Amino acid sequence: MAAAPALKHWRTTLERVEKFVSPLYFTDCNLRGRLFGDSCPVAELSSFLTPERLPYQEAVQQDFRPAQVGDSFGPTWWTCWFRVELTIPDAWVGQEVHLRWESDGEGLVWRDGEPVQGLTKEGEKTSYVLTDKLGEEDPRSLTLYVEVACNGLLGAGKGTMIAAPDPEKMFQVSRAELAVFHRDVHKLLVDLELLLGMAKGLGEDNQRSYQALYTANQMVNVCDPAQPETFPVAQALASKFFGQRGGESQHTIHALGHCHIDTAWLWPFKETVRKCARSWVTVVQLMERNPEFIFACSQAQQLAWVKSHYPGLHARLQEFACRGQFVPVGGTWVEMDGNLPSGEAMVRQFLQGQSFFLQEFGKMCSEFWLPDTFGYSAQLPQIMRSCGIRHFLTQKLSWNLVNSFPHHTFFWEGLDGSRVLAHFPPGDSYGMQGSVEEVLKTVAKNRDKGRTNHSAFLFGFGDGGGGPTQTMVDRLKRLCNTDGLPRVQLSSPERLFSALEGHSGQLCTWVGELFLELHNGTYTTHAQIKKGNRECERILHDVELLSSLALARSAQFLYPAAQLQDLWRLLLLNQFHDVVTGSCIQLVAEEAMCHYEDIRSRGNKLLSTAAAALCAGEPGPEGLLIVNTLPWKRTEVLALPSPGGAHCLGLIPSSGDSAQHGLCSCSHPHLTAAPAAPAACVYSAGASADLASRPPPTKTDGSVTLDNGIIRVKLDPTGRLTSLVLVASGREAIAEGAVGNQFVLFDDVPLYWDAWDVMDYHLETRKPVLGQAGTLAVGTEGGMRGSAWFLLQISPNSRLSQKVVLDIGCPYVRFHTEVHWHEAHKFLKVEFPARVRSPQATFEVQFGHLQRPTHYNTSWDWARFEVWAHRWMDLSEHGFGLALLNDCKYGASVRGSVLSLSLLRAPKSPDATVDMGRHEFTYALMPHEGSFQDAGVIPAAYSLNFPLLALPAPGLAPAAAWSAFSVSSPAVVLETVKQAETSLQGRKLVLRLYEAHGSHVDCWLRTSLPVQEAVLCDLLERRDPAGPLPLRNNRLKLTFSPFQVQSLLLVLQPAPS
């Protein structure tokens, strides 16, 4: 026994222990230096380099060339396959033998044709256990393959992590050898590091801290690294210390293995497939070695990839899921963005996700898992509850730049009043390492101390995958119950949430959205992705509706269920939280655009097929099938194809028809209905364009007035809006002395997260873009549409052209905009100062809307200087308001009386090319009397986003207009009509409706379809046990509360044969 410590110096004692375990200092004589014993080089190393991501079977057939340690390979995104021939020395019998492998890039070891472990220096996985104990009879020689991807865990950024990837990066293998591993040394190292962690973390005024320090010091005293026979004494000291238990009141930490894998981000989708394999195969190994270790795994898409690319691994995951060690969580197809996807798309995330989890793992998830998303819609609680989920986990709000979120465990109440139990791991991370510091932080930072005594602790390398290591598991196991620290359990999400539920009586409630006070640029970055998202949501909506109608009306029609599932899954994939947000590299953006193109082209084909089915068998003239896919009557000017290839305008429907969620035919391709009075007319001051029925104006100042009898729009000679008047009341919507349609440019230089962040201070750099007089041109088309057109030079490099359009009968004026955008770190917005005063503005969100302040009173108010909205926002005072609609934008703000729509950004990281080039988008302005609800802002925004369809009718189109569904209340929107998932190829439809005004309402749904039975169902399309609803004369009564979403299952009568 060594002498008792004589001195009391804290620092020297602490640093002495640190040096004893240091990987940097004194490794010639310290304990760390003894972790590995004898070593020998691998017998033979050869390699094969390829730009492709080949399957194993194909790769191993290739021509491998001799290689050696020190070789470099690359460049970025290539793959180097190494064949590693091993011969273990006979002298190592009885020892634990590892392959030590260190290289840049991400490696995967293959043994006997199956992946067995990830090898990634960044993820602290540099050694593969060949045998725990080499037996006399064990084979000494074997061949392994190591597949090394030429990218790091976090891609290949040039210089900094989020810089655009360096395509020329080269990679190197720096170690490939066999070595004897000393498990007893490893255990001592884990103990000493934990003791050091306690000594430092508990601090010099804590008794237990000194006990930890002196225990560690004593261990160093008794332990001679060169003499393994001294180790047990040191180990006994540690065991005695860690065996001293905490009290009954100790906080409990639920340690959950996790591995956040971004479905695409700084690497392409295809690399994610391999990241999943590398990470999860390592997890399988950990689950085998540690039966108490539990791993929570989200994102059905990733599991689906593994199922198709690595079926053997998938089978193992299923096996461990049965044992309760591998726990699928989240319930969604991918961890989607929480702001931008439509309500229906969010529903589909769960519908696709939960059905996959049920099919592959025998049960659905009971918690929504979204640790890393940039804000959370106020409709999520309702969607979760209706998808069988009552629990929610995230941590991202800890990134708030301004306000610190006040809870870690709380009830989250959504827009409609639905509640879920929410938990944010108080350690503010989803990638813990199992250190004492993190354990202490989890307890110290918990903002619900005294209300709940349980917390989650997610450990494992994340973002780019990697996952937990054996060392992390060893640390956490050692801390199961030690005085001075919280209790640590290797736990499951289910155990965590049931423990939290046990304390829920004292929890607080947060109502409304969980707004992230950071990453607000992601509402705007990558405009083409945003546009693809909005457009494809529309296409899938229309395809489902038309296909459902065709199914109902035609015995021969086959609903394209499988194709629609494919297309939905592509759209859902693109809604991943680093794709639709625009925070990905160029490679990913290109792939995402291909996905959208796929949805467009296949979706449009499906539309034509459904249209053809609807036309078959009905008497009527050939021509066009005009389809209104919205659930209310519409009268709109529509561009129709004419024989010469040009378009001409028609007013749809012609008098007498009603296009109401259904069809009307158009017997002649260039229909021109006589417009109902008043006609659109255009005044052009100083120009000769006199195309209206009214006399030309007399003004000579170059301004233009568009007037359709509903609104009167006045533009100055540079295209700015000087006046917008509701004709009937004469009420002016533009603020006195101000101009609308004012483009403004801001400097947009964030602190770090370029594609993600727009900072508050950008507002201080506002510069109006001033146009030149005389660029305004005017036109009218067919007496139905008035327009004015102008050019605007935004900067020396960027220009904009805009067509301001007013149709007869239309309550809003549209601004069709084309921009050629070539900027760096600039932000383009358009502003509309309104003659409206209100402390709050309204923004559309999923299945509803919410209010946000128009002032900067408190830090919570000004932190929302840039917010998101879907198709419309509105600023109203009593009796009057102004709504701003859009067809593909999401970033917005209302400050004071100024409505502002965010149009284009120009960040350079991680995609240096993002948003450069040509853009097209439309926004519209709608002044209104009364409330926006009563004035029809919501249907107007739908109309802008869902144009009437004019589809070629190859056969005979229905002779008369025909409507499939109508809803008696304007407050209720019939959002979705689709075939039921559970009855593929069956005659069952699902209808989704929601209350959009924020009111309690009873309404009647009427249908002309042959409905046999109607029953309410949840979002996963499970029947309401209360049974069928009374159905009389094809009418159903439905009762809604504010923003409630309801789904209906309609069983159709058998098709007429």
Nearer to Zn ion, 372 or 1021 (CB): 372
Q: How far is the CB of 79 from Zn ion (least distance, A)?
A: 24
DSSP, res 205 = T
Q: How far is the CB of 275 from Zn ion (least distance, A)?
A: 12
**In the complex with Zn ion, which residue's Cβ is closer, 399 or 862?**
399
Nearer to Zn ion, 355 or 373 (CB): 373
User: What sign for the dihedral angle of Cα 587, 589, 592, 593?
Assistant: negative
Q: How many helices (H) and strands (E) does the chain have?
A: 19, 54
Q: Which is nearer to Zn ion, 425 or 833 (CB)?
A: 425
- Residues 454-483, one symbol each (x = binds Zn ion by CB under 5 A, - = not), give ------------------------------
24: CB partners within 8 A, 6+ apart = none
- The encoded tokens of residue 332 equal 């969604």
Which residues are catalytically annotated? Answer: 372
Least distance (Å) between residue 370 CB and Zn ion: 9
Closest approach of Cβ 445 to Zn ion, in Å?
Answer: 21
Residue 262 interacting with Zn ion (CB under 5 A):
yes
Binding mask 772-811 for Zn ion (x = CB under 5 A): ----------------------------------------
Kindly state the smallest distance separating residue 577's Cβ from Zn ion, in Å.
6
Q: Is 598 in the site for Zn ion (CB under 5 A)?
A: no
Residue 129, SS3 per DSSP: strand
Using the contact rule CB under 5 A, the part of the chain among 169-177, 259-267, 1011-1019, 1024-1032 near Zn ion is: 259-267
Quick one: 437 exposed, middle or buried, by C-beta within 10 A (0-12, 13-18, 19+)?
A: middle
CA dist 41 → 132, 282, 859 (Å): 19, 24, 61
Q: Which is nearer to Zn ion, 231 or 430 (CB)?
A: 430
Strand-pair category, 252-258 with 487-490: parallel
Q: Where are the beta strands (DSSP E) in 424-551?
A: 454-459, 487-490, 509-511
- For the segment 687-746, give every residue that binds Zn ion (CB under 5 A): none
Decide: is 981 part of the binding site for Zn ion (CB under 5 A): no
Closer CB to Zn ion, 18 or 372, in the complex: 372
What contacts 545, CB < 8 A, 6 or more positions away?
629, 661, 976, 977, 978
How many residues are listed for the chain in this entry? 1057
End-to-end CA distance of the chain: 95
Residue 262 vs 416, nearer CB to Zn ion: 262
The pair of structure tokens assigned to 619 is 């008497």
Nearest distance from C-beta of residue 260 to Zn ion, angstroms: 6
CB 96 within 8 A of CB 183: yes
Q: What gap in Å lies between CA 1047 and CA 958, rounded to an integer?
A: 29
Rounded to a whole number of angstroms, the minimum distance from the CB of residue 166 to Zn ion is 22
Which helix (H) or strand (E) element contains residue 38? strand 36-41
CA distance 334 to 345: 12
Give least dist CB 513 to Zn ion, A.
20
Question: Contact, 702 vs 777, CB < 8 A?
Answer: no
Cis peptide before 910 (omega within 30 of 0): yes
Name the one range near Zn ion by CB under 5 A: 107-115, 258-266, 679-687, 817-825: 258-266
Tokens 């965590």 sit on residue: 496
- Taking the least distance from each CB to Zn ion, the nearer of 154 and 1055 is 154
Strand partners, 800: 792, 819
Q: Identify the DSSP state of 478.
A: H
For Zn ion, which stretch binds (CB under 5 A), given 257-265, 747-755, 871-879, 1002-1010?
257-265
Cβ of residue 752: shortest distance to Zn ion, in angstroms? 16
Residues 346-405 that bind Zn ion (CB under 5 A): 372
> In the range 279-298, which residues lie near Zn ion by CB under 5 A?
none
Among candidates 387, 451, 372, which has minimal Cα distance to 418? 387
Toward Zn ion, which CB reaches closer, 71 or 262? 262
Beta bridge partners of 843: 850, 873
Minimum gap (Å) between residue 263 Cβ and Zn ion: 8
Region from 134-142, 189-197, 260-268, 881-889 binding Zn ion, contact rule CB under 5 A: 260-268
The smaller minimum CB distance to Zn ion, of residues 262 and 448, is found at: 262
Q: Which is nearer to Zn ion, 338 or 343 (CB)?
A: 338
Are the C-beta atoms of residues 929 and 908 closer than 8 Å to each other? no
Nearest distance from residue 576's CB to Zn ion, in Å?
Answer: 8
d(CA 524, CA 773) in angstroms, rounded, equals 30
Q: Which residue is nearest to Zn ion (CB)?
A: 372
User: What are 627's two structure tokens?
Assistant: 């389809």
Give CA torsion, residues 679, 928, 743, 762, to 10 deg.
-170
Number of residues that bind Zn ion (CB under 5 A): 2
Choose the stretch contacting Zn ion; rule: CB under 5 A; options: 105-113, 261-269, 310-318, 539-547: 261-269
CA neighbours closer than 13 Å in the CB half-sphere of residue 647: 8
Query: Residue 376 gets which letter from DSSP?
Result: B
Please give the structure tokens belonging to residue 54: 């080949």
Nearer to Zn ion, 464 or 811 (CB): 464
HSE, CB side, 13 Å, CA atoms: give it for residue 948: 28
For the chain, the maximum distance between any two Cα atoms, rounded to a whole number of angstroms, is 111
H-helix or E-strand containing 598?
Answer: helix 586-615
Q: Report helix, strand or coil for 338.
A: coil
CB of 463 to Zn ion, least distance (A): 6
Contact residues for Zn ion (CB under 5 A)?
262, 372
